[in-house]
Amino acid sequence: MSRLSAWGVVGFPEVKPGDQLADMIVEACRNEPNGPLLDRDVLVVTQKVVSKAEGRLVAVNPDDPLSHKALVEKEAVRIVRRRGDLIITETEHGFVCANNGVDLSNVERGQAALLPKDSDRSARRIRDVVRAKLGVEVGVIVSDTFGRAWRKGLTDVAIGVAGIAAVLDLRGTPDALGRVMQVTEVAIADELASAAELVMGKSAGIPVAVVRGADASWFREASVQELVRPPQEDLFR
Amino acid sequence: MSRLSAWGVVGFPEVKPGDQLADMIVEACRNEPNGPLLDRDVLVVTQKVVSKAEGRLVAVNPDDPLSHKALVEKEAVRIVRRRGDLIITETEHGFVCANNGVDLSNVERGQAALLPKDSDRSARRIRDVVRAKLGVEVGVIVSDTFGRAWRKGLTDVAIGVAGIAAVLDLRGTPDALGRVMQVTEVAIADELASAAELVMGKSAGIPVAVVRGADASWFREASVQELVRPPQEDLFR
């Protein structure tokens, strides 16, 4: 297996509604001190800048927590659990997460950022513009920060993909002792998003990272829906 | 932010019960084509080799799936959900996972591997031997492969840590716009385990990886219990 490297793209400008995010990523990557993008690099782009560029911002009353809560309830497809200020919901994409992904951090006071309407499409647009303008074939992951039911702390996961598998299906592959493995479907897009988070740093505000060294076999047309557990498989509905 | 790199330690020998795993890791790292371990590297070691070295193997009837299931039920502290062949349990460590972490892959036919009794201690032993024999101060993570309630595909997570934070507490840290962030506790040990999984490869059978470039502030005494959600915070009991 090869070496994996990840770094945050430095000097990324502030993103505003209507900005051409893909063009901004191309420009930032052109000037990157770590050197140009290469074929089979994976670009990990945080949800926040995708939502901002796509104008997925709505006004909330910054002095009234109920204003945020009402927005969460309006946007959610289903309330999964509720306790105190915490609301776990299912989004229109099928993601189960806190506050329906509606986020107040790293946006202006008085605004909340909704998840992108279709993060796969957002990822494809970035992939296509990078291909057209830089002539390289990259995978793109739109990432967000989710909690887990039984583990404390948050990790970054994929909420959109383009040109890279979301889930790698190794079922039927022999293990190291030559036996067929019982499992394994590996959520590589989530693992790549987590690796990228480590170099972005929540407070540093770096919204784009490059991961280099992904296996050639991971690159294909894909959708983040590979990661969404269908209702009939959900043991916790 | 700096660059993160990860690679699998190649040429790692097969591990048997009673083997001195920490010594084997030291030897493998001495001969690594990627060069010697450095201070603040993170060693990620898969549960499977830790369990094998610690003799956490029990006999199961390879032709009777009920034999495996009976073992899972015997080891579990609590059955969380059950459907068909799938059993989600809580382990004695407080982890919620499939089959109580009892695994049949990458072990000899007729055997099953239990989770290490105390993976923090397993990690500390490796950290201490590396310090004593190689003179470098590393973080150690024992990793395993867990599913998620609402996302398909598995990711590697930490089940033991030494010398590196499991969860990073950024609550109260200003975000990029100077506002105090609402969240954020980042499960960096899980993210590091996920990054390492990407270079280990399930079928390649590489049980040890090195992650270089972790932030200096992440290194401290820690326990994987930081990642275990206490019952009173569990919305899905």
Instruction: Please report, for the domain that includes residue B127, its CATH number.
Output: 3.30.1330.100
Q: How far apart are CA A101 and CA A95, in angstroms?
A: 9
pLDDT score of A183: 58
Q: How far apart are CA A171 and CA A182, in angstroms?
A: 7
Same domain? For B155 and B210 the reply is yes
pLDDT score of A178: 63
Same domain? For B96 and B172 the reply is no
Cβ separation B198–A184 shorter than 8 A:
no
pLDDT score of B236: 85
Q: For residue A85, with 0-12 CB atoms within 10 Å meaning exposed, 13-18 middle and 19 or more buried, which class applies?
A: exposed
For B5, nearest residue in chain A (alpha carbons): A5
Among the partner-chain residues A7, A154, A190, the one whose CB lies closest to the CB of B183 is A154
Check: CB of residue B100 under 8 Å from CB of residue B76: yes
Of B96, B114, B132, which closes a domain?
Answer: B114
Q: What is the pLDDT of residues B145-171, one digit of tens each?
A: 999 999 999 999 999 999 999 999 887
Q: Is there a domain that residue A63 lies in?
A: yes
Cβ separation B202–A155 shorter than 8 A:
no
Q: How far apart are CA B118 and CA A232, in angstroms?
A: 35
Same domain? For B68 and B169 the reply is no
pLDDT score of A86: 87
DSSP character at residue B94: S
pLDDT in tens, chain A (237 residues): 579 999 999 889 999 999 999 999 999 999 888 899 999 999 999 999 999 999 999 999 988 888 989 999 999 999 999 988 889 999 999 999 999 999 887 788 899 999 999 999 999 999 999 999 999 999 999 999 999 999 999 999 999 999 999 999 887 776 666 665 555 899 999 999 999 999 997 666 799 999 999 999 999 999 999 999 998 888 888
Tell me the shortest Cα–Cα distance from A11 to chain B, in angstroms. Answer: 11
Task: Look at residue B185 and tell me whether its pLDDT is greater than 90.
Answer: yes
Cβ separation A194–B199 shorter than 8 A:
no
Of B69, B96, B114, which closes a domain?
Answer: B114
Of A114, A137, A156, which closes a domain?
Answer: A114
Tell me the shortest Cα–Cα distance from B61 to chain A, in angstroms. Answer: 16
Q: How far apart are CA B188 and CA A195, in angstroms?
A: 9
Cβ separation B228–A152 shorter than 8 A:
yes
Task: Look at residue B186 and tell me whether its pLDDT is greater than 70.
Answer: yes
Q: Is there a domain that residue A131 lies in?
A: yes
Same domain? For A44 and A133 the reply is yes
Same domain? For A68 and A132 the reply is no
Among the partner-chain residues A104, A151, A170, the one whose CB lies closest to the CB of B203 is A170
Domain carrying residue A220: 5-55+116-229
Q: Is there a domain that residue A234 lies in?
A: no
pLDDT score of B182: 58
- Give per-residue burial for A87-105: e unless 16+ CB within 10 Å, then b: bbbbbebbbbbbbbbbbbb
Instruction: Name the CA dihedral angle for A147, A151, A152, A156, rounded to a multiple of 10 degrees.
Output: -40
Cβ separation B175–A105 shorter than 8 A:
yes
Same domain? For A13 and A25 the reply is yes
Instruction: Name the CA dihedral angle for A180, A183, A187, A188, rounded to a multiple of 10 degrees.
Output: -20
Task: Look at residue B178 and tell me whether its pLDDT is greater than 70.
Answer: no
C-alpha distances (whole Å) from A117 to each of A27, A98, A99 are 25, 17, 16
Q: For residue B131, with 0-12 CB atoms within 10 Å meaning exposed, 13-18 middle and 19 or more buried, which class applies?
A: middle
Q: Which residue has the tokens 């892959």?
A: B105
Check: CB of residue B149 under 8 Å from CB of residue A231: no
Q: How many CB atoms lie within 10 A of CB A12?
A: 18
Q: What is the pLDDT of residues A82-130, one digit of tens each?
A: 988 889 999 999 999 999 999 887 788 899 999 999 999 999 999 999 9
Cβ separation A188–B198 shorter than 8 A:
yes
Check: CB of residue A214 under 8 Å from CB of residue A4: yes
Check: CB of residue A201 under 8 Å from CB of residue B214: no
Contact list in A for residue B186 (CB cut-off 8 A) is: 153-155, 197, 202
The pTM of this model reads: 0.95
Mean of the per-residue pLDDT values of chain A: 92
pLDDT score of B86: 87
Q: For residue B35, with 0-12 CB atoms within 10 Å meaning exposed, 13-18 middle and 19 or more buried, which class applies?
A: exposed
Same domain? For A219 and A146 the reply is yes
Q: Is there a domain that residue B233 lies in?
A: no
Among the partner-chain residues A83, A96, A106, the one whose CB lies closest to the CB of B176 is A106
Q: Is there a domain that residue B234 lies in?
A: no
Q: Is there a domain that residue A235 lies in?
A: no
What is residue B6's three-state secondary structure?
strand
Backbone angles phi, psi at B190, to 5 degrees: -70, -40
Cβ separation A175–B200 shorter than 8 A:
no
Query: For testing the chain B interface, which of A82, A108, A167, A198 should be mutated: the one with the most B CBs within 10 Å?
Result: A198
Cβ separation B105–A8 shorter than 8 A:
no
Instruction: Name the CA dihedral angle for B58, B152, B92, B104, rounded to a multiple of 10 degrees.
Output: 0
For A148, nearest residue in chain B (alpha carbons): B148
Tell me the shortest Cα–Cα distance from A167 to chain B, in angstroms. Answer: 6
Q: Quote the number of domains for chain A.
A: 2
Task: Look at residue B96 and tell me whether its pLDDT is greater than 80.
Answer: yes
Check: CB of residue B91 under 8 Å from CB of residue B72: no
Q: DSSP states of B110-137 as a string?
A: TEEEPPPS-HHHHHHHHHHHHHHHH---
* Reported ipTM: 0.95
DSSP character at residue A51: H
Task: Look at residue B115 and tell me whether its pLDDT is greater than 90.
Answer: yes
Same domain? For A79 and A189 the reply is no
Same domain? For A142 and A42 the reply is yes
* C-alpha A5, offset from chain centre: 18
Q: How many CB pairs under 8 A join A and B?
A: 251
Same domain? For B35 and B81 the reply is no
Tell me the shortest Cα–Cα distance from B126 to chain A, in angstroms. Answer: 23
Cβ separation A184–B205 shorter than 8 A:
no
Same domain? For A79 and A167 the reply is no
What is residue A75's three-state secondary structure?
helix
Q: What is the pLDDT of residues B13-47, one digit of tens each?
A: 999 999 999 999 999 999 888 899 999 999 999 99
Same domain? For A161 and A98 the reply is no
Backbone angles phi, psi at A70, to 5 degrees: -65, -40
Cβ separation B202–A184 shorter than 8 A:
yes
Task: Look at residue B6 and tell me whether its pLDDT is greater than 90.
Answer: yes
CATH number at residue B66: 3.90.1660.10
pLDDT score of A205: 77
Task: Look at residue B181 and tell me whether its pLDDT is greater than 60.
Answer: no
Cβ separation B151–A227 shorter than 8 A:
yes
Q: Is there a domain that residue B158 lies in?
A: yes
Q: Is there a domain that residue A237 lies in?
A: no
**Structure tokens, A85:** 């200020």
Check: CB of residue B47 under 8 Å from CB of residue B142: yes
Q: How far apart are CA A198 and CA B191, in angstroms?
A: 7
Contact list in A for residue B34 (CB cut-off 8 A) is: 3
Query: For testing the chain A interface, which of B77, B155, B184, B185 should be mutated: the one with the most A CBs within 10 Å?
Result: B155
Cβ separation B203–A175 shorter than 8 A:
yes
